[in-house]
Amino acid sequence: MIDGAGYKWSDKKEEQVQMPSPDGTLYEEGIGHTGNGYAKITYLGK
């Protein structure tokens, strides 16, 4: 999981990483999506 500030989490705060954007590229480190929220759902079942 990556928080809104770009920090990676497991059970503790880890390093800062680039967040993926909706178009498949990466935002600059420490910057995420602005404006309305965005969710991408991919069905992996049959």
Residues 28-37 have a mean pLDDT of: 72
For residue 17, tell me if it sits in a domain. yes
- The predicted pLDDT at position 30 comes to 67
Query: Is position 38 within any domain?
Result: no
Span 24-41, average pLDDT: 75
SS3 breakdown of the chain: % helix, strand, coil, rounded to 5?
A: 0, 20, 80
Q: Kindly state whether residue 9 falls inside one of the protein's structural domains.
A: yes
Instruction: Say whether pLDDT at 2 is over 80.
Output: no
pTM metric for this prediction: 0.41
Residue 45 included in any domain: no
The residue segments making up the domain with residue 21 are: 1-31
Q: Is residue 19 part of a domain?
A: yes
In a domain, 8, yes or no: yes
On whether residue 42 sits in a domain, the answer given is: no
Question: What is the structure's pLDDT at 20?
Answer: 77
Mean pLDDT of the chain: 76
H or E segment at 29?
none
- Count how many domains the chain has: 1
Output the pLDDT for position 27: 79
Q: What angle do CA 18, 21, 24 make, to 5 degrees?
A: 105
